[in-house]
Amino acid sequence: MGARDVNHPPSTPVSPTQCMALNRTGGQAVMSDREQSAKGAGAWLTRLARDTRGNTMAIVAMSLIPLAGMVGGGVDISRMYIVKTRLQHACDAGALAGRKQMGGGTWAYNGYEARTQAEKFFDANIQANPYGANTVTKAFTENAGKVTGTASAVLPMTIMRIFGRTTETLAVTCDAEMRLPNTDVMFVLDVTGSMASKAVSTDTQTKIEALHSAVKCFYETVARLDTTENCVGGAPSGGTGNTVQVRFGFVPYSVNVNVGKLLPLDFIADRWSYQSREPLYRKEQQTTWTDGTPTLVSGVQGTESTGNWSTQNTISGQANQTPAQDQTWCAGLVPENTEWAATGTEGSRQNVQTTTQGTTRVTTWYTNQAGARYEYRYQWTNTSSNPRRCQIQRRTVTSTLRRNYSQTDTGTTVEVDVFDRYRYAFLEKDVSALKDRASNTWNSSFVTNTGNNGAAATIGWDGCIEERPTVRQATYSPIPSGAKDLDIDLVPSTSDSTTQWGPMLRGLIYTRRGSQSNWDLAPVETPSNYGNSSSYSCPPEARLLQRWDTASTFETYVDNLLPTSNTYHDIGLLWGARFISPTGIFRAQNQFTPQGAEIERHLIFMTDGEACTENYNYTAYGVAWFDRRQTDEGSVPTDGCLTTGTITQQVNARTAALCTAVKNKNITLWVIWFGTSNSTIEDMLENCATSGRFFTARNSTDLQTTFRSIADQISQLRLTK
């Protein structure tokens, strides 16, 4: 293409890319070397574009180079993506398997068994030299319960080699931790008398000791805090952190539950009725006397007793002295006899006599007091051997002094109540003094007039409660509306005492007519002082759901759970449900976490025995023989174990209804039977439990294994990246 006159436009338009910066010098375009080169390339491409003679092959050949780069890059990038995905999956699987193997134990337990498991799962999830990758490495570590993995592989390039990229190193990270959801765990634990024995003779622990160990190991697994217990899996550490809420609560039960002092003051009624007594009085005229002043009426000296004379002074005189020292002179030297003087304290009143006439009362008496005085005399001697000798002599005279007194008192007559007899019956009592309104706390006792002869008596309260009104039925599924005692969520109201509970007060209970063989259902009025021959037991105080961030506090509570009395399953399960329910009396604390998050709920119900009742037990429903709140009013309730007795049948029926009610609240109900095989009770308990959540433990080792298994299932595994 020849040079063109810049003053005339070319016949073919010039594209902007062909136009370089032009310097006009004398009408000619002057260009730099670079501009010249660019212009030449542009001109060549222009000619190529115009020339259709055989340039297709060249164009195709030139386009193969970038096309190969794009295709080769796509192939190798796809291989890199697939290999990295494989690495990530294998790393995730290894971390997950390692953390699951670690469970509630430690990373180093059993020769780093958890790490070995992680590596096995990694290897199983990545084939040898995947897509040509080599030098595959992996490493798994643990810190504060979190397993972290790293993995890498070197991948040789294929087509990209022609561009100088021979290999690519791919690396991934992964981690897995046993992260609990927000979790509430309520333990309903049998602490009845049979727990003091061993499950089997070969056990080294009693059942209650085995329970202590199992619950503490459960805590280690779920709370991730170490106790002094020697648990399988090694010592945990680190806790659950602040991002998750894990709470534990307890309801130990036997005949009753100790929950009263955990409740707000208004949940307990101010007045409650008991099988008790009250004093009855009669009216009498009684004079109150104002004492007068004792008056000394007379004094009388008793018989005198004299001592021997003793010489006090001897004087020898002369006849020619003045005054004459003769017998008269000697007599003048004798002192006066002394007056009577007391030598001891005045004695007590003797011969007290009282005469009353109207409102005047005269009392007379006398007292005795020892007294003494001195008598003096002289002895005159005028002999050749003792001329003109004057001796002054003294002796002691003793006697009893008697003083006669009189006192006149003035009386005021009033009518007063005097104890006459007791009335024994089902009586309403004011129990509001147990509430300290000023401090919003509970008092442990109050004073009533139920003591002997109407005297004041201090009535103590351990914290156990009496239940709300119920109905008498053979079955409670569904729970009838009248059975307020079985209503898990009914919140008490001060305007309706039937929604409140009463304090269980052993000191107010008096069983009519002494021993059980003489009990009388009818009220009795008598001066006889009957006692209380019912049986009473109150287990350790329950605990509301709470965080237990200090292992020693948790241990102390668990170790203080001690066995006592009979087995009433229904009352334990009932209050365990009330304490964990998200829609009941503790809704504000239980419905959500403080941050508004959802909570998973688990109730663990453990027992070593069938229901076992006595009609003389003082229970949450009163003394069964007298109160008959659950059984036929017209007949004496019968007792027994397993299925024997009307009271036992009521316990079983109510327990079954409560099991259903708990499960209907989306609470996982775990049930553990701790003892020898018993198909009847085991069938009952299995029906009680959430499906697949019933366990049997035949000995102490089984019990710890069972609790650990439940803990592992509650501690759900969460994969984090």
| pLDDT on residue 658 | 98
Residue type, 503: P
CA 220, 248, 682, 567 dihedral sign is: positive
| pLDDT on residue 26 | 38
| Residue whose entry in the numeric block shows the structure tokens 């003091």 | 196
Task: Give the span between the Cα atoms of 717 and 181, in whole angstroms.
Answer: 9
On the question of pLDDT at 613 being above 90, the answer is yes
Q: What is the mean pLDDT of the chain?
A: 88
On the question of pLDDT at 54 being above 60, the answer is no
The band of 59, judged by pLDDT with boundaries at 50, 70 and 90, is low
On the question of pLDDT at 9 being above 60, the answer is no
Residue type, 554: F
Of residues 189, 191, 151, the one with CA closest to residue 171:
151
Task: Report which of residues 117 and 76 the model is more confident about.
Answer: 117
Domain(s) labelled CATH 3.40.50.410 in the chain stretch across 183-259+463-503+538-720
Q: Is 125 left (phi over 0), alpha (psi -120 to 50) or beta?
A: alpha
Which neighbouring-strand residues pair with 183? Answer: 246, 600
| Residue whose entry in the numeric block shows the structure tokens 């066995």 | 563
| pLDDT on residue 356 | 95
Task: Report which of residues 482 and 243 the model is more confident about.
Answer: 482
Task: Report which of residues 4 and 307 the model is more confident about.
Answer: 307
What average pLDDT does this structure show over 624-653? 97
CA distances from 150 to 88, 94, 118, 155, 368 (A): 9, 10, 11, 17, 110
What average pLDDT does this structure show over 388-395? 90
Which neighbouring-strand residues pair with 405? Answer: 296, 365
| pLDDT on residue 51 | 60
CA 369 to chain centre: 70
Q: What is the pLDDT of residues 368-385, one digit of tens each?
A: 999 999 999 999 888 888
CB hemisphere CA count around 19 (13 angstroms): 9
Least confident of 171-175, 301-305, 488-492, 661-665: 301-305
Task: Give the span between the Cα atoms of 590 and 598, in whole angstroms.
Answer: 10
With beta carbons less than 8 A apart as the criterion, state whether 249 and 543 touch.
yes
| pLDDT on residue 45 | 56
**What six digits make up the tokens of 703?**
């019990």
What average pLDDT does this structure show over 505-516? 92
| pLDDT on residue 327 | 86
Q: Is 164 left (phi over 0), alpha (psi -120 to 50) or beta?
A: left
Task: Report which of residues 233 and 718 the model is more confident about.
Answer: 233
The strand pair at 183-190 and 600-607 is best described as parallel
CA 42, 43, 44, 45 dihedral sign is: positive
Helices 700-714 + 207-223 axis angle, to 10: 20
Task: Give the span between the Cα atoms of 122 and 443, in whole angstroms.
Answer: 63
| pLDDT on residue 46 | 63
On the question of pLDDT at 61 being above 70, the answer is no
What average pLDDT does this structure show over 645-672? 98
The band of 102, judged by pLDDT with boundaries at 50, 70 and 90, is confident
| Residue whose entry in the numeric block shows the structure tokens 């001109």 | 43
Task: Report which of residues 131 and 399 the model is more confident about.
Answer: 399
Most confident of 16-20, 401-405, 461-465: 461-465
| pLDDT on residue 48 | 57
Task: Report which of residues 167 and 237 the model is more confident about.
Answer: 167
Indicate the CATH number of 183-259+463-503+538-720 among 3.40.50.410, 3.40.1710.10, 3.40.50.300, 3.90.550.10: 3.40.50.410
CA 493, 498, 501, 507 dihedral sign is: positive
Q: What is the pLDDT of residues 110-152, one digit of tens each?
A: 899 999 999 999 999 987 777 778 889 999 999 877 899 999 9
| pLDDT on residue 590 | 98
CA distances from 167 to 154, 158, 162, 163, 235 (A): 7, 9, 12, 11, 45
Task: Give the span between the Cα atoms of 329 and 321, in whole angstroms.
Answer: 11
CA 76 to chain centre: 64
- The set of long-range contacts for 155-160, using a CB threshold of 8 Å and a minimum separation of 24, is 155/79, 155/80, 155/83, 155/131, 156/132, 157/76, 158/72, 158/75, 158/76, 158/79, 159/68, 159/71, 159/72, 159/73, 159/75, 159/76, 160/72, 160/73, 160/76
Q: What is the pLDDT of residues 529-553, one digit of tens each?
A: 999 999 999 999 999 999 999 999 9
Task: Give the span between the Cα atoms of 185 and 667, in whole angstroms.
Answer: 10
